[in-house]
Amino acid sequence: MWLANHWKDYEVIDTSKGEKLERWGDYLLIRPDPQVIWNTPKKHKGWRTCNAHYHRSKKGGGEWEFFHLPQQWNIQYNNLTFQLKPFSFKHTGLFPEQAANWDWFSELIQTANRPIKVLNLFAYTGGATLAAASAGASVTHVDASKGMVGWAKENAISSGLKDAPIRWIVDDCNKFVEREIRRGNHYDAIIMDPPSYGRGPKGEIWKIEDAIHPLVQLCSQLLSEHPLFFLINSYTTGFAPSVLSYLLGVEIVPKFGGKVIADEIGLPVSQNGLVLPCGSSGRWQADSTI
């Protein structure tokens, strides 16, 4: 498992009974997590003194209960600063486990000794975009949500990357990729973090089990003559890491060689030494980088 274990401003403190106790900077949050199926005693005082608690409804969805939490605050990871705020369906605007991938591809970009163009699809609030830009890449950031792209821009400003070579695009990812192919554009690296289900800005329906392979096929046409890496993340239950490795192995390796590895990503739990699994990632990288 690949661990995001270099955080200072974020911590999974404890996990029990379908919930996790987290520290986001100076604030403690309790949020549900379907992976937490164990029922250990909730001894840490944070369970009783948290700043906010997201309660999941048995009918689906849920709502926040707040105790002295600001509307917005920020945390840092290395030289990046992320704006946080609680919003619908338990999220805060950041997936801290992805730092394991940020560290991996940042090193590849920094040691490539050439300009690197990165395409980040389903780019959300820009964690991967900012990590790649901070490492020296030029990045095209694509997300169907105007609000998420605006949030990502805020994070770029907070991180001192306002003038970094980032192209911000609000668009359906499939349609954008198809247009880039017609335009003849190419990228040295591609990152995608697709949802299990979603809708584009014009109501386009995305179902990962139907759409992910055709999208990887399309993206393979966008890669430059000497691509650096290709990263796929998935939070979809039932998608084993091997599924992601097969996708990359079938579509990328025959064209460009290189190596594919895939594994779970996770966060260490400080109270009990466990590791909380947080989805899977598949990584392809060129032979010259191995």
Instruction: Give residue 206's pLDDT.
Output: 72
* Pairwise CA distance, residues 218 & 238, whole Å: 24
* Nearest residue to 281 via CA among 105, 118, 157: 105
* Nearest residue to 12 via CA among 284, 273, 209, 289: 273
45-104 tens-digit pLDDT: 999 999 999 998 887 789 999 999 999 999 999 999 999 999 878 999 999 999 999 999
Instruction: Give residue 290's pLDDT.
Output: 46
Instruction: Give residue 63's pLDDT.
Output: 93
CATH 2.60.40.1180 residue spans of the chain: 2-84
Instruction: Give residue 28's pLDDT.
Output: 98
Superfamily of domain covering 2-84? Golgi alpha-mannosidase II (2.60.40.1180)
Return phi, psi of residue 182, to 5°.
Answer: -65, -35
Instruction: Give residue 201's pLDDT.
Output: 67
Token digits for 91? Answer: 């999220």
Token digits for 109? Answer: 């970009």
* Pairwise CA distance, residues 260 & 244, whole Å: 9
pTM over 0.85: yes
* Nearest residue to 5 via CA among 270, 285, 263: 270
CATH 3.40.50.150 residue spans of the chain: 96-289
Instruction: Give residue 60's pLDDT.
Output: 78
In the chain, the amino acid numbered 161 is L
Angle between the N-to-C axes of helices 241-251 and 208-220, in degrees from 0 to 180, rounded to the nearest 10: 30
Instruction: Give residue 289's pLDDT.
Output: 52
Instruction: Give residue 211's pLDDT.
Output: 84
Residue ranges with strand state E in 46-108: 52-56, 62-66, 73-77, 80-84
100-157 tens-digit pLDDT: 999 999 999 999 999 999 999 999 999 999 999 999 999 999 999 999 999 999 999 9
246-264 tens-digit pLDDT: 999 999 999 999 999 999 9
The pLDDT of 10-38, averaged and rounded, is 96
Q: Nearest 5 degrees, angle CA 16-CA 22-CA 27?
A: 140
Under the banding of pLDDT at 50, 70 and 90, the label for residue 209 is: confident
Instruction: Decide if pLDDT at 186 tops 60.
Output: yes
Please state whether beta strands 19-24 and 27-32 pair in parallel, antiparallel, or not at all (unpaired): antiparallel
Token digits for 19? Answer: 């919930």
* Nearest residue to 189 via CA among 245, 135, 125: 135
Q: How far is CA 75 from CA 81, 141, 203, in A?
A: 6, 21, 33
Instruction: Give residue 288's pLDDT.
Output: 73
CATH top-level class of 96-289: alpha beta
HSE-up (13 A, CA, CB side) for residue 92: 27
